Structure 1
Amino acid sequence: MTATLIDGKTIATGIRDQVATDAAALREAGWPPALVSVSVGDTAAAALYVRNQKRSAEACGLQFQERNFPDTISLEQLIGVLQGLNADPRVNGIIIQRPLPAHIPVKALQKAVHPLKDVEGMHPASIGNIVYNDLALGPCTAVAAVEMLKTLPLQIEGLDVVVIGHSEIVGKPIAFLMMGLGATVTVCHHMTRQVAVHSRRADAVFVAVGKPGLVTGAMLKPGAALIDIGINRVDGRTVGDADFDSCAEVAGWLTPVPGGVGPVTVATLLSNAVKATRMQMDHYRSAYAAE
């Protein structure tokens, strides 16, 4: 193995330390950051994520509430719940847990969360702002992946970057974030001919497709950085979208799975929570301050 592992746990620790400092300052100002998790129906599939979010939030001094609703709730009723949370100044961030019942489209809920409380960065306004290079509350996984690349001794301006995968909440935001930093970006997807032709000339490759072993060492430029965002279960193990062993022989830097982008994503959610709280505090002060 020649690649240097990009330790997501260490990067996440640094982010959480800053979150704890910021949360303490907000509590001192009378604005204790508070998150609300919203889940629907049988929560077994999301229970581990919720426990991790709660533990991480409370360790940083953030309040965390869990609200679960029966799978018989209608979309209209659930949107009403979100509108109530939007209007409650004691709630600073809203997390929509997945999976959801078939009759509850996740995009409808993401649109119903107020942009100032969109700590997951999934509202169309949050994603759209990235096009204007205005990163307020960005999609957590995309922001985390880019932050990991920024920790490397690479000059981002002019960097040749390939993004494999063009989802609305990961691939596309990464592409715009990297362009905003001055990189030259190519986006590959399921209709791209000869992905390897693009990836072999890249200084950095992001992959987020959900297909284990998709990227191999033969597809990489020697010394390139590889940010593997994929999460797959293979023979009882959690693996990414990259064939780790072959990529580790070629890449200069490589994220492990698990222990790479995942911990930084959770830390980014918490960072978004304190940003959202600060934005709301500023909004209320400007809107309701005495003349």
Structure 2
Amino acid sequence: MTAIILDPSPVAASFRDEVRQDVDRFRAEGRTLRVVGLLGQDEGPAATYARFARRGFDDVGIEFDLRHVVPEEAERAVATANVDPDVDGIFLYYPLTDRRGDRWLRELVDPRKDIEGMHSFWSRLLYENERFVDADRTQRAILPCTPLAILKLLDRAGMRGTRENAPLEGVTACVINRSEVVGRPLAAMLANDGARVHSLDIAGAVTYEPAIGRHTHEVRTSGIDRAAALADADVVISAVPSRDFELIRGDEIRAGAICVDVAEFTNFDESAKERAGVFVPRVGPLTVAMAARNLTRLARLTGR
């Protein structure tokens, strides 16, 4: 068996069509949507990502103003974009400072302009499984764009639950990465939809028990090791940003599993494609589309 390779670009194109229609409606109302991107590097993954983002935003009619900043100017650059009435969204390209400083910068972004969905205002809603921001449940909460892109790709790959209480009830997932940007929110989103998620990183393993019979998921220390977590998983998502990561081999995963490679450096051995049912080699194009969709939702929410 050889895996079906799921290219994210056509999936992203379908969402860009949706965003383009929203952008056209704003334009008919006399509004041009504008994103400010803050970048601290001229080369490397962040700069490449920013170039892809520019193409994605241009394609749907969103203005993209990329500003190069040095670490000591990053806070002021965020503050300036926050108060600028002509700026509808802010996108940070990490690293801008160091890990601690970048976490602080995420908190400085006005949640009403946070198209990445990384501010604690949005994170709290995610981890508490609150899907709307208003009592009438008409305005959806913003979700982090990379985990959201992964979920959209998993849905396109055919990830489905086998029971009736939740859309992903009966699905077991393994997420290798527990960062605040990708791994942790992704595990929570999967578990909130009913999946059991084994979450692994260099510090060990925890398991996210599904939000079935309770309002939100539950996290417990499980001690499950890599071999057991991979063998148990219907879905494997890996996002380890290091060449030193021990690649996931075909003999480690369940036959027919859906595998998603999120990292800058591949996390999967070629043999995984011989055993997986569907293999997703990258996520980036859809991440940009989800950020653009978040922008249109925030612009409608705030009414600016």
TM-score interval, normalised by the smaller of the two chains: 0.7 to 0.9
Show the 5 A alignment for 1:217-232: 217-232=250-265
Answering whether residue 298 of structure 2 is matched by residue 276 of structure 1, we say yes
Equivalent position of 1:170 in the other structure: 182
Higher mean C-alpha displacement, 120-129 vs 45-54: 45-54
Answering whether residue 111 of structure 2 is matched by residue 115 of structure 1, we say yes
Q: By how many angstroms is 1:110 displaced?
A: 0.9
Q: By how many angstroms is 1:151 displaced?
A: 1.2
Q: 1:90 aligns with which of 86, 91, 94?
A: 86
User: CA distance change for structure 1 residues 248 and 78 in 2, over 3 Å: closer, same or farther?
Assistant: closer
Q: By how many angstroms is 1:26 displaced?
A: 1.6
Higher mean C-alpha displacement, 180-189 vs 112-121: 180-189
Paired AA for residue 262 in structure 2: I
Aligned equivalents of 1:22, 1:38: Cα separation in 2: 24
Aligned length: 266
Where do 5+ consecutive residues of structure 2 fail to align? 132-140, 162-167, 206-223
Equivalent position of 2:32 in the other structure: 32
Aligned equivalents of 1:197, 1:103: Cα separation in 2: 31
TM-score, normalisation: structure 1: 0.84
Where do 5+ consecutive residues of structure 1 fail to align? 233-239, 285-291
Show the 5 A alignment for 1:54-93: 54-69=54-69, 71=70, 74=72, 78-93=74-89
Tell whether the 8 Å contact from 2:2 to 2:277 is kept in structure 1 after alignment.
Answer: yes
Q: By how many angstroms is 1:175 displaced?
A: 0.7
Q: 1:152 aligns with which of 149, 157, 170?
A: 157
User: CA distance change for structure 1 residues 186 and 103 in 2, over 3 Å: closer, same or farther?
Assistant: closer
Aligned equivalents of 1:104, 1:39: Cα separation in 2: 17
Q: 2:146 aligns with which of 141, 146, 149?
A: 141
Aligned equivalents of 2:144, 2:259: Cα separation in 1: 20
Equivalent position of 1:179 in the other structure: 191
Show the 5 A alignment for 1:180-195: 180-190=192-202, 191-192=204-205, 194-195=225-226
Tell whether the 8 Å contact from 2:174 to 2:235 is kept in structure 1 after alignment.
Answer: yes
Paired AA for residue 262 in structure 1: G
TM-score, normalisation: structure 2: 0.80
Aligned equivalents of 2:51, 2:275: Cα separation in 1: 37
Identity over aligned residues, as a percent? Answer: 30
